[in-house]
Amino acid sequence: MPARTAARILDGEARGALQRARSYLPEQLIDAVEKSGLRGRGGAGYPLADKLRAVRRNADGRQPYVVANGYDADPGSPLARTLLARNAATALRGIAIAAHAVDAKEAFVYLHPGATEARAAVERAIADHQDELGIAIEVALGPGGFMGGEESALLAVLESRRAMARQRPPYPASQGLNLRPTLVSSIETLAWLPLVVEEQVRASTKLVSVTGAVSHPGVYEVALGTSLGDIVSEAGGTTAKLKGLHVGGPTGGILNATRSDTRFDFDDLRVAGTHMGSAQVRAIPVGTCIVNEAAKLFAYLARESCAICVPCRVGTKRVQGILEGMYSGLGRDSDLPWLDELGDHMERFSLCGFGITAPSILRTTMREFPDDYRIHIQDMRCPEGSCTPVRSRRYETMAQP
């Protein structure tokens, strides 16, 4: 997918930033990062300055690592690939600046195995800028699959283990790669650092992948706070009347199209019941059954779950089964509170962001598209006339409410 809009981190070079950063003491540098308001672009929006301080605080004589997460776990949101293919040198400068802030001498750029163009661009930029960068930067490839991008799973991969999450604390900032303090930051977050240092600007934009029923699907850079409707317009407008906007990738919620004034921002999206996640905005046209959409998402999540914790391993499978039963004409009113309860368990007891955020699909669709659920359950037909039954009996594993 091509990036279409020229903007800050896609095009900014900040060639002198690294030299300037090295003229600061690490603490001064971190203060400048704090002033810029830079929040993690990998989904959760955690302030970068706090993470940098935590890595320094926990170093205790051990040499920290920097891991730049450029994995693009969501296949529909190739943000890091787009950024690296277009502006790898700036991203690498960002990694070197972060390394200065935490006193790291080694860094990794962690990529999806399918990101061949981005990988070539990074390797070229490392060779071209080795003297300027001044630290060892290595490219590492993940396994493929959605969980390969989760921070504790990616650290397991870098230690030659399977991409499975682990309990936190301890966080990577205190016990990361090889049990050393490790800064794991999205490549998009780190690419802001040269601009923050050289131009002392606020980190005001975010990459977004616009997909679905729009004229020009692709990766765009937009100001944080842009409305979802304006983001869709940026992608050439819609190709059909919209029913919903799916925001945040595979674990993201689906908002009714009437809420297109929702601001694309970490906090506003959370208030709306979804999250930034992979920063994909997918335009869903009228004629799409939302129960079916939710079932497809849970089928994907059930396949991709690393399966190490019960709430997610069992929860994703059960929700998939209940939703498939519902759109196969086997739904009951009692399925709705059951879905709510499963969502509660996943949110409260899952080990990583995958299982904690997935229930936003249930919360938003049940709240914003109640008729799709009601018509499937009570009238036993698809509201859009599009669902084909996939189950001949209900998904029953135990006594049900």
Ligand X SMILES: Cc1cc2nc3c(=O)[nH]c(=O)nc-3n(C[C@H](O)[C@H](O)[C@H](O)COP(=O)(O)O)c2cc1C
Binding site for ligand SF4 (CB under 6 A): 147, 165, 305-309, 312-313, 350-352, 354-355
Compare residues 228 and 322 and give the one whose CB is closer to ligand SF4. Answer: 322
Identify the residue among 147, 222, 336, 377 touching ligand X (CB under 6 A): 147
Q: Is 21 in the site for ligand X (CB under 6 A)?
A: no
CB of 309 to ligand SF4, least distance (A): 3
Q: Count of H helices and E strands in the chain?
A: 17, 9
Q: How far is the CB of 25 from ligand X (least distance, A)?
A: 23
The Cα–Cα gap between 67 and 78 comes to 18
Q: Which does 46 bind (CB under 5 to 8 A by kind): ligand SF4, ligand X, none?
A: ligand X
**Which residue lies nearer to ligand SF4 by CB, 59 or 164?**
164
Query: What does the alpha-carbon distance between residue 27 and residue 357 come to, in Å, rounded to a whole number?
Result: 34
Query: What is the signed CA dihedral for 155, 157, 158, 159, rounded to 10 degrees?
Result: 90
3-class secondary structure, 30 = helix
Q: Which partner, ligand SF4, ligand X, none, binds residue 72 by CB below 5 to 8 Å per kind? A: ligand X
Q: How far is the CB of 365 from ligand X (least distance, A)?
A: 20
Q: Which does 171 bind (CB under 5 to 8 A by kind): ligand X, ligand SF4, none?
A: none
Q: Which is nearer to ligand SF4, 148 or 217 (CB)?
A: 148
Q: How far is Cα 328 from Cα 172, in angstroms, rounded to an integer?
A: 44
Q: Is 42 in the site for ligand X (CB under 6 A)?
A: yes
Rule CB under 6 A: say whether 40 interacts with ligand X: yes
Indicate which single residue of 24, 46, 171, 300 sits in contact with ligand X (rule: CB under 6 A): 46
Q: Which of residues 153-192 bind ligand X (CB under 6 A)?
A: 184-186, 189
Task: Identify the three-state secondary structure at position 284.
Answer: strand
DSSP letter for 39, please: B
324-363 residues near ligand X, rule: CB under 6 A:
352-354
Position 90 contacts ligand X (CB under 6 A): no
| Residue with smaller CB distance to ligand X, 260 or 350 | 350
Return the one option of ligand X, ligand SF4, none that residue 146 interacts with (CB less than 5 to 8 A, by type): ligand X
Kindly give the residue spans of alpha helices, DSSP state H, lying in 237-359: 266-271, 290-304, 310-325, 335-349, 353-357
| Helix ranges, 23-147 (H) | 26-36, 48-59, 79-102, 116-133
Strand pairing class (106-111; 182-186): unpaired
Strands 65-70 and 106-111: parallel
What is the DSSP track for 195-238?
HHHHH-----EEEEEEEESBSS-EEEEEETT-BHHHHHHHTT-B
Q: Which residues bind ligand X (CB under 6 A)?
A: 40-44, 46, 69, 71-73, 146-147, 149-151, 184-186, 189, 352-354
